[in-house]
Amino acid sequence: METFDCIKTRRSCRKYRERQVEFDKIAYLMEAASKAPSSGNLQAYRFILLTEREDIKQLPEICMNQYWIAEAPLVIIVCGDAERVEMTYGLRGERLYVIQDCAAAIQNILLAAHDLGLGACWIGSFEETVIADRFRVPDGVRVQALITVGYPAKAPEPKEEESIETLVYFSKFGNKTENMDVVMREFSKEWVKLVDRADERLERSTKGIKLGAHTGAKGFASKFKEKIAAAKKKKI
């Protein structure tokens, strides 16, 4: 799958088929996780793989009664070795970097899962100490998240998304632009506007004059617009 298609179409999946996730696919997910950027390349993330039903069935209660988790064929417990990062980066490493390291690894897993046709969900709502106790996570290492993985049993619901315009500022926090089409790499729209404007000007300046040049220019403009529309379809 193309990278950007994978990013755009990934969704959280909370309903899985009974089918187990094959070992080679689990290995692929772990390789994706290990490729994530990490502070100082410390790679302080660690992953506990749960495939036993007995282990997975215990989880909903610890995860604020999210009962659907019990049906997931695979759960990955993502841990961050905060102590290790703290040794290199102090408090900032412990409180911030190790969390970001794990978040990057989690996103890699979610995208790799989607790429394989699997569904996955990031779980942040759980009793951390209970998970740590039950799965023997040592002191100094924090359980950062759980990830459920399996073959999706249904297509995701549509989701509401903030517009890019809301999310993005320019130069300073809060600064907005009117030319969001350009920012969104939808240059084609900008070109269409420019051609329309040039066309109008040409129309005005040649009003009443029968000029071959104008007719030629108009033909050029419409061809140009067609080309832009075609390019837009390809999303260049």
User: Does residue 124 belong to the site contacting ligand FMN (CB under 6 A)?
Assistant: yes
Residue 123 binds to ligand FMN (criterion: CB under 6 A): yes
Please report how close the Cβ of residue 98 comes to ligand FMN at its closest, in angstroms.
14
The Cα–Cα gap between 77 and 222 comes to: 57
Q: Whose Cβ is closer to ligand FMN: residue 72's or residue 192's?
A: 72
Decide if residue 15 touches ligand FMN (CB under 6 A). no
Q: Comparing C-alpha atoms, which of 46, 147, 37 is closest to residue 97?
A: 37
Does position 121 interact with ligand FMN (CB under 6 A)? The reply is yes
Q: Does 11 bind ligand FMN (CB under 6 A)?
A: yes
Under 8 Å between Cβ of 144 and 78: yes
Q: Measure the CA–CA gap between 205 and 220, rounded to whole angstroms.
A: 17
**Could you say which residues in the range 53-82 bind ligand FMN, by CB under 6 A?**
66
Rule CB under 6 A: choose which of 88, 125, 129, 179 binds ligand FMN. 125
Q: Sign of the C-alpha dihedral, residues 142, 56, 122, 106?
A: positive
Q: What are the backbone dihedrals phi and psi of residue 158, each rounded to the nearest 5 degrees, phi first?
A: -65, 150
Of 87-95, 121-129, 173-181, 192-200, the segment contacting ligand FMN by CB under 6 A is 121-129
- Adjacency order of strands within the sheet including 45-50: 45-50, 74-81, 141-150, 119-123
The residue ranges that bind ligand FMN (CB under 6 A) are 11-12, 14, 66, 121-125, 159
